[in-house]
Structure 1
């Protein structure tokens, strides 16, 4: 039986809380009490319910974990009714809420009830939600935009007063646990100072990077991790030996005005209320407050150091060529995405980490031809298709051989259980007629029941094996159909890559490893078959 969904949401950012962050009318506990009481008073609703709580998530978008889980449960039929306190708990995006109420939820067959709005979608079957409800949603949307403006205004006031509202300070600074002010890290601050000194001397980013790596100075991420600042860590997928300074890190430090003692805030802004997409702010929209914390370099030194790198060529970005394997090709050593270098008919890919860190990295400095990479992938796909064909033949042979044996065994067990149950009834009749004692009857009953249960367990095992076998056969057949169909194009298509390729690791042009995205069962079967071929 499907259940009701009680959806509860609370967010400070939406203005859901009043003065001193307290508003009993909107608290999660208050919402819960209201909805449970409502449910208990309604005879037309089931008693059972699933609760979904998004505490601390804005209503201006639908990127909320419990909301997403609720919609997935609606799709799979676990729930048939969604109940909320009011429309604003469900969402404050006027257009988005309208889409859910008038299109998505009706398609899923979900009834929607907003208690305080006295709204029940069953009252609007075949009709729109009505002008009053549309206006109510629009008000919620405008309210969110108004709150967003107020929050931004409040933040700008704090920024102008020299209050830091961000998270971690830049490398070289620590945050005082009592005052919250930035203080210079005595060790990391010297590293930052050394970078500026080298730039002032006229060194470019590559030369400074070489110097930092030669001196074995830890990168910001490595330094913070070694000093227990784990939330400032680095990419854990990167091998320890490849955690090195690169030109990008040097450039980032030399371009941070904060090292002069200033705070620079409002560097990025969201493109719309509730959106997670941000864009770089115009210089005039940033708030710069000088002399807020101790400076590592003077303004003159900052400008001089920055001037030395201003006209240096920035590292190139990925090519624009339409490439089916884009985003899938990684360096086999450092695991970073490789960069496409376009050069007409002979496009190549190289490891950017090696290019940035030079001789200190163990990555290959070889640029590998795209044709070679695609050739390896194509060959690997052909091998997988061949193996799956062999597996399918093997499955059919074994299935045909075992099917008859398994059915015969199941029939025998069923007949035996029928006889055991009959014998158990006969023993009861003998006991009822006084032919055998109660003790003997109970003993015989237990022995016969144990045999029935053992047979039943074996029958379930055999049935489960048949189901597993059929599932396995279906998966293999589907994989073959997919590969066979896409490979008819005789080229690596985007559809083929999206369906089959997880990652391509390039060590050099002779060693390229292809990792497929088939499920565990198929991958184990393929690996087992490959192992058997090698042993043979």
Structure 2
């Protein structure tokens, strides 16, 4: 009988998490074990694939992908690892490779320590090993995040490089000190911004004055970013971008604060970065000496928020981006009617204007009518706040919270149900293992695949519901922020872009309605920042 020749890949992986297990998981130990096993079992080793420093939850590892490419090319028909955790710590993806991908490509898979060898038939214990390996990764991820949060709370900074204007304290790890050689660049950028200059104008001036960029400064200090400046003209050293300027202007590090978790991974399984809402940022104040005064910093933030593209008619910019059609949701375009003896400005639905009937109806409002209506509402609330702040606060909370409380209860109930089901599925996994061990059941594959899919769906649902609840919590406390804004602006006598953008989120314009007497009325809905619609 002709013996099967197994062209074998020895796959080795080690992450910082795995290092905690000691020498038994080191690359050296794995290599020695795998080579010895291959010799004893007469496996023809084609190559060794090593991902040193890569997490098991990430399947975009370079050598893992190289191994997959060699399988696709027909070079390999056998894969050997020390155990299942070396292949991966995401039980869904690991299971897909061991139960679907490898069998469909006629690849024999061996996990030595776990006693898994696909040539000897399906291993009923493998799915549970994969689940346990993922639990280990999940628990490790949680512990690492908790440890970093403690360090961040103490004011530690652990970025690869200190922000422009600062340097790392060589004697106190995680501490920032002002860099007297570069602080002037930060001060100059904020000075220009406080004078009304936008990001484009500031970047242009920095370039013209040949102010060095942060990357060029780091290259001079540490030799990093050499690839950026290799064979490039000298002007590359001063090639500021608008994005760089805006990042500096919005960075609270310059007022002495440390802000962490602005972005995070989707989950411990995925390394894809997502931007987190500001309510979830971890902010620690006064962790180091500031370069910019807080008054200047927040003045610049207001100017950034209120800045709009200039027009010939200065009145147009104050409502820019705020006026929407109530039916289709599109922005209302601004225009001027010059046909009459007395020209006037107006807003009209841009969707209707572009596509006509059948897409939306005519939504139209004169600029002066809108201006007066909005001014009166802001004046009303400002006066009410001055007269009885507590009464206004209760009124706003009552108007907005009834619906939010109902929605919150519904979301909390759904979250609790999903979390309970997730625990139940985990329990069912363990029960299946126990039943299989006691030979009460013989076939597990289909049940495991079904529960794996449900686990994935539950995790997505739980993440979504938690995000929704966090957003609701933020909205519930928004009334106090809104009151503070009104106290800051007092009773307005005119509308300005900074005022509108600070107080209002959007203005919805409804189509005009006529009653039986021909009386024409039109609804204007104002949605205020932090609290929504309360009028």
TM-score for both structures, normalised by structure 2: 0.53
> What is residue 196 of structure 1 aligned with on the other side?
190
Tell me: CA distance 1:238–1:282, structure 2 relative to 1, closer, same or farther (3 Å): farther
8 A contact 1:58–1:274 mirrored in 2: no
How far apart, in 2, do the equivalents of 1:240 and 1:69 lie?
Answer: 39
- Secondary structure of the equivalent of 2:49? strand
Q: 1:151 aligns with which of 144, 147, 152?
A: 144
Q: Give the drift of 1:241.
A: 3.7
- Secondary structure of the equivalent of 2:190? helix
Alignment of 1:255-404 (within 5 A): 255-313=250-308
- Secondary structure of the equivalent of 2:270? coil
RMSD of aligned alpha carbons: 3.0
2:247 corresponds to 1:252 = yes
> What is residue 17 of structure 1 aligned with on the other side?
19
How far apart, in 1, do the equivalents of 2:115 and 2:254 lie?
Answer: 57
8 A contact 2:117–2:123 mirrored in 1: no
Tell me: CA distance 1:223–1:30, structure 2 relative to 1, closer, same or farther (3 Å): closer
8 A contact 2:215–2:225 mirrored in 1: no
- Secondary structure of the equivalent of 1:276? strand
Q: Give the drift of 1:236.
A: 6.5
Q: Give the drift of 1:226.
A: 4.4
How far apart, in 1, do the equivalents of 2:208 and 2:38 lie?
Answer: 69
> What is residue 40 of structure 1 aligned with on the other side?
39
Tell me: CA distance 1:214–1:48, structure 2 relative to 1, closer, same or farther (3 Å): closer
How far apart, in 2, do the equivalents of 1:197 and 1:232 lie?
Answer: 31
- Secondary structure of the equivalent of 1:310? helix
8 A contact 2:116–2:123 mirrored in 1: no
TM-score for both structures, normalised by structure 1: 0.53
How far apart, in 1, do the equivalents of 2:231 and 2:250 lie?
Answer: 27
What is the number of residues matched between the two proteins?
Answer: 308
Tell me: CA distance 1:314–1:253, structure 2 relative to 1, closer, same or farther (3 Å): farther
Segments of 5+ residues of structure 2 without an aligned counterpart are 311-353, 355-535
Q: 1:134 aligns with which of 127, 132, 138?
A: 127
> What is residue 30 of structure 1 aligned with on the other side?
29
How far apart, in 2, do the equivalents of 1:73 and 1:248 lie?
Answer: 41
Q: Give the drift of 1:76.
A: 2.0
How far apart, in 2, do the equivalents of 1:237 and 1:267 lie?
Answer: 35
Tell me: CA distance 1:314–1:65, structure 2 relative to 1, closer, same or farther (3 Å): farther
Segments of 5+ residues of structure 1 without an aligned counterpart are 316-343, 345-536
- Secondary structure of the equivalent of 1:192? helix
How far apart, in 1, do the equivalents of 2:240 and 2:187 lie?
Answer: 15
8 A contact 1:221–1:232 mirrored in 2: no
**Structure number, greater radius of gyration:** 1
2:11 corresponds to 1:4 = no
2:158 corresponds to 1:161 = no
Q: Give the drift of 1:232.
A: 8.7
Q: Give the drift of 1:87.
A: 0.4
Tell me the alpha carbon deviations over residues 385-415 of structure 1, each in whole angstroms, 9 at most, x when there is no partner.
xxxxxxxxxxxxxxxxxxxxxxxxxxxxxxx
Tell me: CA distance 1:155–1:227, structure 2 relative to 1, closer, same or farther (3 Å): closer
